[in-house]
Structure 1
Amino acid sequence: MAGKGAAGPGLVWYLPCIDSYALVDLRTRVEVIPTQEMITRDSVTISVDAVLFYYITGSLHATIQISNVHESTLFIAQTTLRNVVGGKTLHELLTSRESLSHEIGIAVDRATEKWGVRIERVALKDINLPEILHRTMAAEAEAMREARAKIISAEGEVLASQALKEASDVMAKNKITLQLRHLQILTSIAHERMVTIYYPFPLEILTPFETRKKGGCVSTDSLMPILKPRTEIKSAMAATASNQTDEE
């Protein structure tokens, strides 16, 4: 400070015995706000760590208006942090940290404006919760995830039941569709493991293969011998051979 006002930056002349000066750093300054333990509006004890970013815009006011501008700015930031956090609930602190930092920065800037100090921002480093509260919140989150999973599973069951109902209605109108579905199920079972499946042979399948003759047709009853077991066919052949021997 030279004469009646601020001088600089640059080369400044002063008289050692008459003038006095004070150097003011106009660069951005970073101050770590000590850990503050406080109680939220919903009676939860927490500790908050924050960082303050500010710079001096009026070197004359920062020198004349207050004796130690840096220490005073830090104290104002601490008290403002306690007041703002104490008026919030724990949920608001955890979900809206950016808006909380902005609110604290505006409040501190209003208090230090007369000292020629400009607050850039107040950043919340960490919000520390008690250990028992950590376990409670983890249990609550786990319960919410389980409830959401049950709801999704129930919705899937409803959709599956509706699809099965529509499929059953379609199969009820066409019996061939139901038989094809049975064959598809058997194919999937056979692919999974080596099993032997006994499946009844419907005679209706032979209907398209009926042979027609003059004056009538051969029914599926005439095709029954081809469906008999091999042992019955052998016994029938043996009986025919014995009859031929008796006739001779």
Structure 2
Amino acid sequence: MIIDFIYFQLLIVILLVMLFASMFRILREYERGVVFLLGRFHKVKGPGFIILIPLVQQMVRVDLRIVTMDIPSQDLISKDNVTVRVNAVLYFRVLDPQKAIINVENYLEATSQLAQTTMRSVLGQHELDEILSARDTLNADLQRILDQSTDGWGIKVTAVEIKHVDLDESMIRAIARQAEAERSRRAKVIHATGELEASKQLLEAARMLARQPEAIQLRYLQTLTEISSDNSKIVVFPLPMELGRILQEMGAHSPNVEDPHSPREPT
């Protein structure tokens, strides 16, 4: 009987120690405690040393640090009917621990599901070229929409970054052909622009030479200088184009030159 009484006292002491230990909590600098009094919200406490009334008050810890959440790959159809697979990363933090605990059952799961559906909805409104090239704009749109949707949960979405955009092999080959055609078009445009600029420069040079006929002779001499510097046995001497016309006119007016095509008189 005495032994049972001793065991009973020992059990009471252990329960009192456990109950006394449950009264004290320590919250780190980045943690807050949402305290409930008999099931009703009481206040947000922390950080530091917290005292709770056993069996009357309960506390839920909330981490205020930025959470890095990976958004799983989502299959979506772009505005130009191209099937792509996109995944992203989401950065957010809890601003209001009271709303994060009371207004939503599991704010981590809710934020993840909302990010997946929002990414499919937003990216589906853009064409493939925009998804591949305008990522900064799409990231800003996703961040703004998610931040507005999670404001009632006490969550602040700080950033959304699209990581990978996976395409089918056929679409990759089509994009490669498109890029090759675009490079070919640019090459042709550059070549035509060069020809246009060269023709303008040649026209200007011809006008300058026409104003000073002596300049063409200097050009001939310069050409001879360039030819003579080569180790070649053949010397090409450029003649003025007017020389052929002058010789033709002299031959036409010469009386001693007989036209081979004129008919001969019979003897």
> Which amino acid in structure 2 is aligned with residue 146 of structure 1?
S
Q: 1:188 to 1:64 in 2, by over 3 A?
A: same
State the match for 1:59 in structure 2: 97
- More contact order relative to length (CA 8 Å, sep ≥ 6): 1
Kindly tell me: are residues 189 and 76 of structure 1, through their superposed partners in 2, closer, same or farther at Cα, counting changes over 3 Å?
same
CA shift, 1:163, in A, is: 2.6
Structure 2 residues not aligned, in runs of 5+: 1-33, 240-267
Instruction: Measure the CA separation in 2 of the matches of 1:198 and 1:96.
Output: 60
SS in 1 for 2:51: coil
Aligned to 2:122: 84
1:134 to 159, 162, 172: 172
> In 1, Cα distance between the equivalents of 2:136 and 2:207?
57
Match of 1:207 in 2: none
CA distance in structure 2 between the aligned counterparts of 1:164 and 1:23, rounded to whole angstroms: 82
Q: Which residue of 1 aligns with 2:215?
A: 177
2:81 is matched with 43
Query: Does 1:109 pair with 2:147?
Result: yes
Uncovered stretches (5+) of structure 1, i.e. residues with no partner: 202-248
* Length-normalised TM-score, structure 1: 0.73
SS in 1 for 2:116: helix
- 1:23, CA displacement in angstroms? 0.8
Corresponding position: 1:22 with 2:60: yes
| Offset of residue 114 of structure 1 | 1.5
User: Could you say which residue in structure 1 is the equivalent of 2:188?
Assistant: 150
| Secondary structure of 2:112 counterpart | helix
Cα offset, 1:179, TM superposition:
2.3
Match of 1:94 among 115, 129, 132: 132
Q: Deviations over 1:119-146 (max 9, x none)?
A: 1111111222222222222222222222
Contact 2:62 2:97 in 1 (8 A): yes
Q: Which has the higher helix share?
A: 1
Measured in 1, the distance between the counterparts of 2:54 and 2:202 equals 99
CA distance in 2, matches of 1:106, 1:200: 75
Q: 1:151, CA displacement in angstroms?
A: 1.9
Q: How many residues align?
A: 201
- 1:165 equivalent to 2:203? Answer yes
CA distance in 1, matches of 2:138, 2:75: 17
C-alpha distance 182-25 of structure 1, shift in aligned 2 (>3 A): same
Q: Which has the higher strand share?
A: 2
Q: Is the 8 A contact 2:227 2:235 kept in 1?
A: no
Return the alpha-carbon distance in structure 2 between the equivalents of residues 200 and 40 of structure 1. 66
| SS of equivalent to 1:22 | strand
Q: TM-score, normalised on structure 2? A: 0.69
Q: Please tell me the residue identity of whatever aligns with 1:42.
A: D
Aligned-residue CA RMSD (Å): 2.1
Return the offset for 1:173.
4.9
Structure 1 residue runs of 4 or more that deviate by more than 4 Å after TM superposition: 172-175, 198-201
For residues 102 and 211 of structure 2, the distance between their equivalents in structure 1, rounded to whole angstroms, comes to 97
Instruction: Tell me how far apart the structure 2 counterparts of residues 16 and 192 of structure 1 sit (CA, whole Å).
Output: 106
